[in-house]
Amino acid sequence: MAANPMHQFQVYKIGPEIKLGDIDLSFTNASLFMLLSALSICLFLYFGSKQKNIIPGRLQLIAELFYNFIAKMISDTAGSKAKPYFPFIFTLFMFVLLCNMIGMLPYSFTVTSHIIVTLVMALFIFIAVTIIGFIKHGFKYLSIFVPKGVPVVLLPLITIIEIISYLSRPVSLSVRLFANMMAGHTMLKVFGSFVISLGLLGGWLPLSFSVALTGLEILVAFLQAYVFAILTCIYLNDALNLHH
């Protein structure tokens, strides 16, 4: 019995079908796990910041750790001008992290392994950063497409290349997260089915691989959330401090 390794990514409806015109707004397992991760972030941060002890308890320590981590990352990559965007980047990081981590639990669903979810987040960041750039610098923001010190003959070509590289940001941002999560979870499932099919005699080798992969996946889950957040910071830095 070899279970289909892609079966875990199937989206199905929970409860009644809700339709708004032509748009299907039914509650699915994807929505359930998004809601779960959002709720667990809220609960974790509420209880983590409820008691303001000088010697922090476990929960407060972890909450402060996350806060410091993100605040440091923002000030390192985007400078002090990016301080007002801290809540957005913190929310983004926590949401991606929790979605990835909850996806590591058995029988759960990994929301970030669907490209539509990651693409919407990436497009939102892309559009928001572009708007911020135009608000802060006006039409001078377009100068990021024209690098300094380029001969006039090459300028049209370079500008087109720069525009392509700018437009590739949301694609690379979303594809990275989606591909890493999907590939990892498929691999876990494939090794899991090897254990079953090889049985008691030969199943130990894939089982040990499975254990190692689980550790790797947890690392990847954290790292991808980190990369997602830090790239948002880098893009924000490009929009806030115009220099190329």
Partner 1 sequence: MEDRDFKTRLKIAKKDLQKTSLDENNKRGLFMGSAFRLGTELVAAVVVGTIIGFILDNWFDTKPWFIITFFFLGVIAGILNVIRVAKNMQKKD
Site residues, partner 1 (CB under 8 A)? 52-54, 64, 68, 71-72, 75-76, 157, 160-162, 164-165, 167-169, 171-172, 175-176, 179-180, 223-224, 226-227, 230-231
Query: Please, which residues bridge with residue 23 across strands?
Result: 20
Rank residues 33 and 93 by Cβ distance to partner 1 and give the closer one. Answer: 93
Rank residues 145 and 209 by Cβ distance to partner 1 and give the closer one. Answer: 145
- Least distance in angstroms from the C-beta of 188 to partner 1: 19
What three-state secondary structure class fits 133? Answer: helix
Rank residues 45 and 175 by Cβ distance to partner 1 and give the closer one. Answer: 175
User: Read out DSSP for 135-149?
Assistant: HHHGGGGGGGGS-TT
d(CA 144, CA 166): 9
How does strand 19-20 pair with strand 23-24? antiparallel
Please tell me what DSSP assigns to residue 13: B
- Least distance in angstroms from the C-beta of 20 to partner 1: 30
- Least distance in angstroms from the C-beta of 157 to partner 1: 8
Helices (H), 50-203: 58-77, 86-103, 115-137, 155-202
Closest CA to 185 of 93, 85, 84, 112: 112
225 with 70: CB under 8 angstroms?
no
Rank residues 32 and 115 by Cβ distance to partner 1 and give the closer one. Answer: 115
- Least distance in angstroms from the C-beta of 233 to partner 1: 11
Rank residues 48 and 206 by Cβ distance to partner 1 and give the closer one. Answer: 48
Rank residues 127 and 167 by Cβ distance to partner 1 and give the closer one. Answer: 167
Longest dimension (CA), the chain: 70
- Least distance in angstroms from the C-beta of 106 to partner 1: 26
d(CA 119, CA 163): 19
- Least distance in angstroms from the C-beta of 51 to partner 1: 9
Query: Nearest-5° angle of CA 147, CA 229, CA 138?
Result: 40
